[in-house]
A = this chain, B = another copy of it.
């Protein structure tokens, strides 16, 4: 029976899941290792330390959004269709993301302690807002578009917190619907 090689990405995904559901500081290296069927010492073969796991986790999610969601703004679709596609992908992501939004969670838990984390989180929300604003500018003024984008992201983030508490899917989906009604 060959020893299974655990990929870095596999460990990262397990770590992300734990960070989201039980918090960063409340997740130990042993917890992460357990999830991967490893022993805690083995994780250090893949990552220098716990901080590096957190950092790569933030980058991983941020890049996922860049590649799979924010990139939609440049597709050859109508304003409404672009927004619809982004909202659908965003809703799908968060409906299935147990524990909510990693970047928002680490923003409250860790960012005041770690400037490197904070910079990534700030950038994530900035890029997200710019993505939506760019699309909305096709129908609104620059200022109105920015305000709508910002408000949507805030409302969605608040709604994700509520979704984690109450499990009410419809209320989460309403947020995207209301944005779509505006174009």
Q: Kindly provide the distance from the CB of A140 to the nearest chain B CB, expressed in whole angstroms.
A: 15
Interface-lining segment among A36-44, A77-85, A153-161 = A153-161
In the complex, what residues of B have CB within 8 A of residue A150's CB?
Answer: 162, 171
Which residues does chain B contribute within 8 Å of A147, judged by CB atoms? Answer: 174
User: Is A110 in contact with chain B by the CB < 8 A criterion?
Assistant: yes
Residue A166 at the B interface, CB < 8 A? yes
Give Cα A100–Cα B166 distance, bound, in whole angstroms: 21
- A183 part of interface (Cβ distance < 8 Å): no
Q: Does A121 contact B (CB under 8 A)?
A: yes
Asked if A54 lies at the interface with its beta carbon under 8 angstroms from chain B, I say no
Bound CA span A100–B109, Å? 11
Say whether A69 faces chain B, with CB atoms less than 8 Å apart.
no
* Residues of chain B contacted by A153 (CB below 8 angstroms): 158, 162
Q: Does A104 contact B (CB under 8 A)?
A: yes
**A108 and B166 contact, Cβ closer than 8 Å, known pairs A26-B113, A113-B22, A174-B147:** no
Complex: A101 Cα to B113 Cα, angstroms:
17
Which residues of chain B are within 8 angstroms of A121 by Cβ–Cβ distance? 165
A139-183 interface mask toward B, CB cutoff 8 Å, 1 = contact, 0 = none?
000000001001101111111011011100001001100100000
Give the complex CA separation of A25 and B19 in angstroms. Answer: 12
A158 to B21 CA separation, bound complex (whole angstroms): 19
Q: Which A positions have Cβ atoms within 8 angstroms of B?
A: 21-26, 99-100, 104-105, 107-113, 118, 121-122, 125, 147, 150-151, 153-159, 161-162, 164-166, 171, 174-175, 178
Q: List 16 A-B contacts (CB under 8 A).
A: A22-B113, A23-B24, A23-B109, A26-B110, A26-B113, A99-B108, A100-B108, A104-B161, A105-B109, A111-B164, A118-B165, A125-B165, A154-B161, A156-B158, A158-B158, A158-B159
